[in-house]
């Protein structure tokens, strides 16, 4: 089952005031944590979508990337940019996984479990679940590619998740709720190390 991974890393980190993708957690950069987990999962092609701070991030990446020149339009434009690019790499992808670059507890096992749950249930969407919320990383079957490309704004794929709950299954990822949006988030995270 061909599955691509799109790592969304285009945001400006405006609430943090510096690129969160380059924050250190347990001796690794956040962008490296998600990149290494995706590489080790070995599911298919991987693309990192960059935007703000792309010149800084390119120096740190060991993966294929694309720059979303329209990143200010919101995460939806990054999803579309990444999906179009990854389909050029492999037009026969059956699924894609959307992941973000600020979940420090992401692991290879999470990516593998998303695909295992897809095979087991046949559902079109497999989302991570934390604190009762369905979110990233999230796997979408190819039948959702058109809907992903049509997204607008900064709400990402949440509308698709809400509209397609009958075709969605979740996996537990309680540590997925820990992400870094502010300096306070980062301070709290580093205290837990």
Q: Is the dihedral of CA 130, 12, 35, 183 positive or negative?
A: negative
pLDDT at 73: 92
Check residue 192 and give its pLDDT: 66
- Per-domain residue ranges of the chain: 3-191
The pair of structure tokens assigned to 12 is 């400006």
CATH says 3-191 is which class?
alpha beta
C-beta separation of 127 from 95 below 8 A? no
What's residue 84's pLDDT? 97
Residues 6+ apart with CB under 8 A from 167: 123, 124, 125
For the record, the structure tokens of 128 come out as 């991570």
pLDDT in tens, the chain (193 residues): 699 999 999 988 878 778 888 888 999 999 999 999 999 999 999 999 999 888 888 887 888 999 999 999 989 999 999 999 999 999 999 999 999 999 999 999 999 999 999 999 999 999 999 989 999 999 999 999 999 999 998 888 999 999 999 999 999 999 998 888 888 888 888 886 6
Distances in Å between the Cα of 192 and the Cα atoms of 70, 86, 117 are: 35, 35, 30
């Amino acid at each position: 089952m061909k599955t691509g991974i799109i790592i969304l890393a285009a945001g400006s980190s405006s609430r943090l005031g510096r690129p969160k993708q380059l924050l250190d957690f347990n001796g690794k950069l956040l962008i490296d944590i998600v990149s290494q987990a995706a590489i080790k999962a070995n599911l298919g092609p991987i693309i990192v979508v960059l935007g703000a701070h792309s010149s800084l991030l390119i120096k740190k990446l060991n993966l294929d990337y694309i720059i979303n020149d329209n990143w200010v339009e919101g995460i939806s434009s990054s999803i579309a940019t990444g999906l179009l690019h990854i389909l050029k790499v492999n037009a026969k992808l059956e699924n894609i996984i959307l992941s973000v670059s600020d979940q420090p507890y992401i692991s290879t096992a999470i990516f593998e479990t998303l695909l295992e749950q897809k095979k087991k249930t046949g559902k079109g969407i497999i989302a991570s679940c934390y604190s009762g919320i369905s979110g990233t990383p999230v796997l979408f079957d190819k039948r959702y590619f058109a809907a992903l490309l049509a997204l607008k704004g900064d709400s990402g794929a949440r509308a698709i998740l809400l509209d397609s709950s009958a075709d969605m299954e979740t996996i537990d990822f309680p540590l997925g709720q820990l992400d870094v949006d502010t300096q306070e988030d980062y301070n709290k995270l580093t205290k837990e190390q």
